[in-house]
Amino acid sequence: MLVNRATVYVDPQTVEEAVGKNFTINVRVSNVANLYGWEFKLGWNATILGLVNVTEGSFLNSTGQTLFSYKLNETEYHIVVDCSHLSDIPGTSGSGVLATVQFHVNETGNCMLHLYDTDLLDPSGKDITHATSSGQFTAP
């Protein structure tokens, strides 16, 4: 029997937007069980896109208070985003938005919205096995 595997992914998977405009993507999780904390890196081509904002999604904080943070690495042009419950409560199960990322389109071109170094942790700090799926951006 095939069991649904947890997945962390960029949604929508492909984005097209004009130069000078802003757009948002969500980093989502699906089919996760007992999630207590998470972390991911998201990279892009900084010539084409500029980071505007990163906000916490509603998935983890729907079941308890959380600590959310992100940091922009301006040398390698990626963000490190993480979140964890703050109290001793059971993990969250299901599917939903981990974080929302807003970008500004600086110039034409295309680039990967590279989602990597993803970690999903249960309340004991044990890794939750999962797949990862990046996205793609194009400015015509």
Kindly list the structural domains of the chain, giving each domain's residue range(s) and its CATH number in brackets, ordered by start.
7-139 (2.60.40.680)
Residue 96 to residue 37: CA distance in whole angstroms: 14
Residue 53 to residue 127: CA distance in whole angstroms: 28
Other beta carbons within 10 angstroms of residue 140's beta carbon come to: 9
Per-residue pLDDT of the chain (140 residues; tens, 9 = 90+): 345 789 999 999 999 999 999 999 999 999 999 999 999 999 999 999 999 999 999 999 999 899 999 999 988 889 999 999 998 888 999 999 999 999 999 999 999 999 999 999 999 999 999 999 999 999 98
